[in-house]
Amino acid sequence: MINKIKSLMGWLPLTVAVSFYLFVTCVAGRFANEDVAKQSLITNGFSNVKLIDRSSVFVGFQGCDKYDLTKFKFSAINASGKAVTVYVCQGWPLKGATIRGM
């Protein structure tokens, strides 16, 4: 019985690490605010900003930084007057928003 408990305790650090990683990559991005992302576009000269999509799962593999938790996809009019599609990658709680073009 004691050997079984010791065996299970060996898996505890790995289980905690995997659980934390899944929480951060899949759940914490839900706390990112769409309004912050939209305001960052408006501040940088975009107009007619409309949300197309939002992704919170493995955004580091979708063109965002490893510290980002949410990727917003917007359609907007840039400062030159052209219709564009842009991504805004946002971290939570301390990282701000980063605008990325397609």
Return averaged pLDDT per consecutive 10 residues of the chain, 102 residues in all: 62 74 62 85 95 86 86 94 94 80 74
Give yes or no for a contact between 75 and 50, defined as CB atoms under 8 angstroms apart: yes
Question: Is pTM, for the whole model, over 0.85?
Answer: no
Per-residue exposure over 61-73, b if at least 16 CB sit within 10 Å of its own CB, e if not: eeebeeebbbbbb
Residue whose C-alpha is closest to residue 35's, from 90, 83, 95: 90
Q: How many domains does the chain have?
A: 1
Q: Which domain covers residue 16, as residue numbers?
A: 2-101
Residue-level pLDDT at 15: 77
The tokens of 24 are what?
Answer: 């951060």
